[in-house]
Amino acid sequence: MSDLEAQQRRLASNQALFRVVNAQVVKLNEQFEDSAAGSVFVCECANTECAEQVEVSLAEYQRVRRNDRWFFVAPNDEHVFGEVEIVVDRNERYYVVEKVEAAAHVAEETAAS
């Protein structure tokens, strides 16, 4: 495995962890809130020390979750890691990034678990 591939896999694994946390947030919101309301989620960027939050409606969340390679990140280029992802959607509340190469495989593998 090349150094780049190892880095891509590590960064994607970091993001997969945040995806799991946000899945739990969705479960709580579905029990206690209107699904159209905005919810606060953790940024799913590859920086494990990131503490940013993003506001996303449950409908937006579900749309992004339909693609295993997509993640929500705070709306700032500092949360985009070009070696593992590209930005596929931007707005003032969040960006959606798509994993590429080895990171895409990790994203798909971890989405099933």
pTM of the prediction? 0.75
Burial class (CB in 10 A: 0-12, 13-18, 19+), 7: middle
Mean pLDDT over each residue of the chain, to the nearest integer = 84
- Report how far residue 50's alpha carbon sits from residue 72's, in angstroms, rounded to the nearest whole number: 13
Q: What pLDDT, in 10s, does the model give residues 39-83?
A: 888 999 988 889 899 999 888 988 999 999 999 999 999 999 998
Q: Where are the domains of the chain?
A: 3-111
- The full DSSP string for 43-76 is ---S-TT---EEEEEHHHHHHHHTSTTEEEE-SS
Compute the residue count for the chain. Answer: 113
Q: What pLDDT, in 10s, does the model give residues 5-18?
A: 777 777 777 677 77
- Is a pLDDT exceeding 70 seen at residue 89? yes
Q: How confident is the model at residue 2 (pLDDT cuts 50, 70, 90)?
A: confident
How much is the pLDDT for 113? 55
Structure tokens at 48: 């494990």
How much is the pLDDT for 87? 98
How much is the pLDDT for 37? 56
